[in-house]
Amino acid sequence: MIQPKALIFPDVLRQIGGTVVLAIAYYGMAEISRHLASTPQDVTPVWPPDGIASGAVLLFGNWMGWGVLVGSFLANFWAFRDSTSFLSLVVSTLPVILIAIGTMLGTLLGAVLLRKTTNYRYPLERVKDVFKFLLLTGMVGPSINATVGVASLALSGKVPWTAYWTVWLTWWISNVSGIFIVTPILLSWGQFREKNRHSNWQWLSLGSTSEGDLLQFPSNLQFLRFWLIVLEPSILIGLVILVSKVAFGEGYHLEYMLIPMLIWSAFRLGQPVATLLTFIVAAIAVIATVNGKGGFVTEDLNQSLLLLQSFIGVITLTILVLTATIAERIQAQTKLSLAFAELARTNETLEVRVNQRTEELNEKNTTLKQTLETLKQTQLQMLHSEKMSALGQMVAGIAHEINNPVSFIHGNLIYLSEHIQGLLRALQTYQKHYPHPPETLHKELDKLELDFLQEDLTKIIQSMKIGTERIHTIVLSLRNFSRLDEAEWKAVDIHQGINSTLVILQHRLQATSDRPEIQVIKDYGELPPIECDASSLNQVFMSLLNNAVDALEASNQGRLFDDIVNNIWIQTRQMDTNQVMIMISDNGAGIPEEIRSKLFDPFFTTKPVGKGTGLGLFVSYQIVTQKHNGNLWCDSTLGQGTKFVIEIPVKAQRIASDASLKSK
């Protein structure tokens, strides 16, 4: 029986002491705020006590709400008391009690909602939790506080009901700003202290370094690291105060100079110092603005306070989101390091097991290599097929959506042209029967320049027709290229697929500032309909034509514009009754022999990093040879050009590879 009492008694003392300390801090900060940043209308644009209250409740628990109640009562009692008589003093105390209750309820509500939605996590370590903190604790809680407080003042006659919403908004904004600025300081420093309570050095680095970093310095240079750690925050804090004084105190518009400093603090010194510097900037800006100094001062004080709140909100949101992003990145790096460490341990274990079973694995090595190679190629084909399928769906969807409005516009151009012609004929008839209009009308008709208008309208309608026809052609080419609305295997006109591909690549064939237009020379033979997978075969045409354009542009490097002649030849022939040939060639620089043998290998590319993946020719080769039972080969001569030849059967001969791919 005695032991439980001994355990309860210290908790009671701790809660009483915490309540008293919070009440004193709340009251003291309220008096400081009124003294330093109070407007002529006795309005404080930022109310830090509310930030202290929210931070204390989030750090220590809901029992700190009693300290909020007492502190709010003391702060508002001295502001709204009426000491003319004892009765008036008692009456003036009633709204103060209601204000204190509203402040406590709003603070507790914001804390409870934040804990529930973040599962009691530290709310400033994730970006989504930061927004929950700003919304629930920073905005929802003060709504209760402002509503109860202003209603109490209105009921007591201290604020007219006509000014209810104006006073409510000022009250709410001041509480929101206080929570945005002060609460993150308490939370971040509390979290920092919790993480580093057992470290003697870590408090100096503020999250930008780790204990292990200190050990990397030679013992004779430890003092240098100490001074660097102390010197960097000191310089940064000094710069922030100096720039803030110059920007807000002297009236120079250098507010933007604070942003890189705050970002510097976020990256180098962590969330605690970043939030502290944000508080310093906000405090200097508030004091300067209410005293008529700084870049936010206007003739209207309310407008000045609104601009000030916008500035404070932006820098607070920026720093909190940035520090949360940095924290998430550090967590991700930590998890990745742990994963790599676990993988290394697993690899060591696996290596031991492999060594123990070397003889058994050697017997199956050849089969395993073949299986892995087949699996790798299958994965590459699936990856590319999925990518091209998604691209085809997107192209077909865009083509379908564009086609409807374009068809509508193109169809109505006929009626628009007829209507305009009718109006012009009516105007000409009017001029014929009334050749001498009044002077005013005559001047207006001269301004319109009817002859020019009639001629120009005809040209405009014709230009619009040409434009819609061009869009219709492009849309048709996109649909022909994707062919998602058709069966996978069917007899198609190969020339139509080539032409659709050329339309899509038209932007690459046009002249640029570095070279003239690339001429495409077509030599089409008489081909029967080819039974094939038209969509995948169009991918092959796209890849080969793109490579031809890339080869021509590479060969143009260092040449004069007038000396460049770029040509691409496309030839089609029927070789026999069941075999056709499509040849695509260019007059580029050609491909060396040692490279030519690797063209169809996966991931092999001669293009710079970021210009190609090395999968285009590999997948094209798979489509032609495995899917269509055809042949794809290359012939090239240095200095003269490159030729790719596709040979496919007229009738589909889908070989067993399709079935094997499906079974896999």
> What pLDDT band is residue 469 in, cutting at 50, 70 and 90?
low
Share of the chain above pLDDT 70, in %: 75
| Predicted local confidence at residue 580, as pLDDT | 93
Rounded to whole angstroms, what are the CA distances from 176 to 120, 129, 288, 499, 509? 22, 17, 20, 63, 58
The answer to pTM > 0.85 is no
- With tokens 């892995």, the residue in question is 372
- Confidence band of 651 (pLDDT split at 50, 70, 90): confident
Q: What is the pLDDT of residue 7?
A: 46
Name which residue leads in pLDDT, 301 or 221: 301
Q: Looking at residue 488, what is its pLDDT?
A: 64
Mean of pLDDT values over 373-390: 61
Q: 529-571: per-residue pLDDT in tens?
A: 998 887 778 888 888 888 888 888 888 888 888 888 899 999 9
User: Which residues are 635's β-sheet partners?
Assistant: 643
- Tokens coding 306: 């609104």
DSSP secondary structure letter of residue 467: H
Average of pLDDT values for 74-80?
79
310-356 pLDDT, tens digit per residue, is 777 788 888 888 888 888 888 888 888 888 888 888 887 877 776 77
Q: Is the pLDDT of residue 96 over 70?
A: yes
**For position 642, what pLDDT does the model report?**
92
For a pLDDT cut of 90, what percent of the chain falls above it?
Answer: 7
Q: What is the mean pLDDT of residues 359-377?
A: 70
Report which of 235, 233, 258, 230 is spatially closest to residue 245, judged by C-alpha positions: 258
Rounded to whole angstroms, how far apart are CA atoms 237 and 541?
A: 62
Residue 610 pLDDT > 60, yes or no?
Answer: no
Distance, in Å, from the CA atom of 349 to the CA atom of 351, rounded to the nearest integer, reads 5
> Which run of H or of E encompasses 204?
helix 202-205
Q: Both tokens of residue 184? A: 């993150």
- For the beta sheet containing 519-523, the strands, ordered from the edge strand earlier in sequence to the opposite edge, are 519-523, 567-576, 579-586, 641-649, 631-637
89 vs 388, more confident: 89
Beta bridge partners of 532: 490
Q: In this model, does residue 485 exceed pLDDT 70?
A: no
pLDDT band, residue 215 (cuts 50/70/90) = very low
Q: Please tell me the distance from the alpha carbon of residue 17 to that of residue 341, in angstroms, as a whole number.
A: 47
pLDDT in tens, 234-272: 777 788 788 777 777 666 677 777 778 888 878 877 788
Q: 134 pLDDT band (50/70/90 cuts)?
A: confident
- Write down the mean pLDDT value for the chain: 77
pLDDT of residue 378: 66
What gap in Å lies between CA 487 and CA 535, rounded to an integer? 10
User: Does residue 567 sit in helix, strand or coil?
Assistant: strand
Residue 566 and residue 579 in contact, taking contact as beta carbons nearer than 8 Å: no
d(Cα 324, Cα 318) in Å, to the nearest integer? Answer: 10
**In this predicted model, which residue has the larger pLDDT, 655 or 64?**
64
